Structure 1
Amino acid sequence: MPGREEIHDWFISLQQSICDQLEKADGQGKFISDKWDRPGGGGGVSRIITNGAVIEKGGVNFSAVWGKAPEHTLKMLKLNETSADFFATGVSIVIHPHSPLVPIIHMNVRYFEMSTGQYWFGGGIDLTPHYVVEEDARYFHTQLKQACDLHHESYYADFKKWADDYFYIKHRQETRGVGGIFFDYLTEDEKFTKQDRFDFVKSVGTAFAPLYTYFMTKNKALPYGEKEKQWQYLRRGRYVEFNLVWDRGTKFGLETDGRTESILMSLPPQANWAYSHQPEPDSNEAKTLSLLKKGINWI
């Protein structure tokens, strides 16, 4: 059964592997490393890339933190204890490209355990195109389904729906992008061992770099103009809204005194908000909005 040390070490190796593959695909940008310590226990390494040939800003962050669990966490877990310790480790990634025709991507894989003996895995990967291209969405979801099917036939359908519900901007009534998969609280049960769950997380983690470098290579040279850049800034604004208003990981990091710079590295370098903006009818921008819906079967 994998323990916290094995899981911790694998996440460190995943961070390095992803950074190596992204640097190679970008061809210009290089990650800088920023090691940090958390006063309450633990720390991490933020790997940041800026002004690459394809990537404008991106982060591949590793963390392993521990300490006293926040009161709201104890309530969420319905624990009677007034005090308990937690340990959490994982890798979190967000990439913002220069081109509005290359999508934003996010991934997080994580492990959490309590001194009460409870533990679980969580994570997800989702794609946020500035312009939704149905061919690209199908490719993305097909690759995710293949990764899920290696472990259980129900995983893709269950976790795809979870992603549709999670990556949803309620106050805009639109999904953040074309979704992906999202899962949380995966622990051992009558069907799955802890090793089974960890193996699934490994498959999700290793799927990231091949998926995103595919889109980097495919879309980086597509032509665009100022109209597309302005739309990109508006869509980045939606990304900011979701991360600051709805994202549980952002809230957990800030509530547990995580490192602010690392938590907010997910935000783009530039975003715009226009009052009551409406795209022109039958435009590519209008088509994109029409496809930001829950429940679309992309495969």
Structure 2
Amino acid sequence: MRVFATSDQATFALTELSQVQDYFVNKLSTLSTGTQFIPVEWLRDEGTHGGGKRYEASDNSVFNRASVNVSQVQYEDKPDKAFLSATALSTIIHPQHPLAPSIHIHVSWTELKNGQRYWRLMADLNPAIEDATDKTVFNETLKQASGKHYDSGIEQGEQYFYIPALDKHRGVSHFYLEGFVGDEQTPKYFAINFAKQVIDCYIAILTDKFSSLPPPSDQELAQQLDYHTLYFYQVLTLDKGTTAGLLIHNQNDVGTLGSLPAYINRHLLLSWVEQSEVAQQPLVKALVDLFPTQQAVHVNASIKAKIAETIRAHYAQLS
């Protein structure tokens, strides 16, 4: 049993984001006939401080990896904690075909005991091989969904998903609003509607792709493997949410690392060790050493558990 946050807004966020989770899973299931999305529950402190449920795609020919998670963590009974509650939808979809783009969506509501309340909204399109039309359609959706907040979201997104060590961005379209509170004109369902509009856009892109894509070439598959390696690198060296989730607790490591693609290029990752910031070089090298020495390596559940341990050990040494 999970003990949920009691504030009206946290209850609203959990109810609505859970409905968005079901909406997205149903859309993905319809799109990929035969794919099962398996529910996996996890608990924070045996449920006394919440937890979550994610839907993971079973092994299939459509998705390389797919995870749709909703969680709520609360510390209402801990007066020493500054954090009151956080309720989040976080999802990453990596299709198998290299011409079908990946997507990451995160929408969360956070409450602190000092009275601060805010949303965080993220949406980024991540193709291994860029399609200018998909990028245009996705950006137009972001503009419609965010209205006057579009420019700020794009500016923050461009900064957040930039990888200085490689002078590259993760993805081609980036939106990020941190600490968003809106104003008196902001609709109550702004964040919820934002998520649903992005989901509808992505489903439309995938529907179009799946109806016309030929079998992938070896070159396209190689490009996808390299791009997934870039994604892996960005998440584990720069993504603050992933790192914080792993450092705060170890009760959902596989779920926290649900955004990682199924396969990466170990040789390419190794080549980035010396390009990384000096403080991050030991971490990147330690991640490389978790894998066997062939080029294409599998990021399975066992490896994810080791990745989590490696990241915690790295930051423990820095502290």
- Secondary structure class of the residue paired with 1:48: strand
Q: Answer with 218-227 or 138-147: which moved more.
A: 218-227
- Secondary structure class of the residue paired with 2:73: strand
Q: Give unmatched runs, 5+ long, in structure 1.
A: 71-80, 278-299
CA contact (8 A) 2:162 2:168 kept: yes
CA contact (8 A) 1:121 1:198 kept: no
TM-superposed deviation, 1:267:
0.4
Find the partner of 1:35 among 17, 41, 47.
Answer: 41
Deviation by residue 1:103-158 (Cα, 9 ceiling, x = unmatched) = 11100000110122111100210001111111111111011111122xxx2x1111
Aligned partner of 1:145 in structure 2 is 143
Aligned partner of 2:254 in structure 1 is 261
Q: Does 1:18 align with 2:12?
A: no
TM-aligned CA distance change 1:213 to 1:114, over 3 Å = same
TM-aligned CA distance change 1:118 to 1:234, over 3 Å = same
Aligned partner of 1:212 in structure 2 is 202
CA contact (8 A) 1:54 1:216 kept: no
Quick one: higher RCO (CA 8 Å, sep 6+), 1 or 2?
1
The 5-angstrom pairing of residues 55-134 of structure 1 reads 55-67=63-75, 83-134=81-132
TM-aligned CA distance change 1:69 to 1:177, over 3 Å = farther
Counterpart amino acid of 1:254? Answer: L
Aligned partner of 1:202 in structure 2 is 192
TM-score by structure 1 length?
Answer: 0.80
- Secondary structure class of the residue paired with 1:196: coil
TM-superposed deviation, 1:53:
4.2
Counterpart amino acid of 1:60? Answer: V
- Secondary structure class of the residue paired with 1:102: coil
Name segments (4+ residues, structure 1) moved above 4 Å: none
Aligned partner of 1:222 in structure 2 is 213
Find the partner of 1:236 among 228, 231, 235.
Answer: 228
CA RMSD of aligned residues (A): 2.3
TM-aligned CA distance change 1:116 to 1:18, over 3 Å = same
Aligned partner of 2:299 in structure 1 is none
Q: Does 1:173 align with 2:167?
A: yes
TM-aligned CA distance change 1:22 to 1:274, over 3 Å = same
Work out the CA distance in 2 between the residues paired with 1:252 and 1:246. Answer: 11
TM-score by structure 2 length?
Answer: 0.76
TM-aligned CA distance change 1:104 to 1:69, over 3 Å = farther
TM-superposed deviation, 1:2:
5.6
CA contact (8 A) 1:121 1:197 kept: no
Q: Percent identity?
A: 26
TM-superposed deviation, 1:83:
4.4
- Secondary structure class of the residue paired with 1:61: strand
- Secondary structure class of the residue paired with 1:87: strand
Counterpart amino acid of 1:5? Answer: T
Q: Give unmatched runs, 5+ long, in structure 2.
A: 1-6, 273-319
Aligned partner of 1:186 in structure 2 is 180
TM-superposed deviation, 1:200:
2.0
CA contact (8 A) 1:127 1:179 kept: yes
- Secondary structure class of the residue paired with 1:206: helix
Aligned partner of 1:76 in structure 2 is none
Work out the CA distance in 2 between the residues paired with 1:50 and 1:232. Answer: 20
Q: Answer with 30-39 or 61-70: which moved more.
A: 61-70
TM-aligned CA distance change 1:32 to 1:171, over 3 Å = same
CA contact (8 A) 1:234 1:273 kept: no
CA contact (8 A) 1:186 1:197 kept: no
Work out the CA distance in 2 between the residues paired with 1:21 and 1:58. Answer: 13
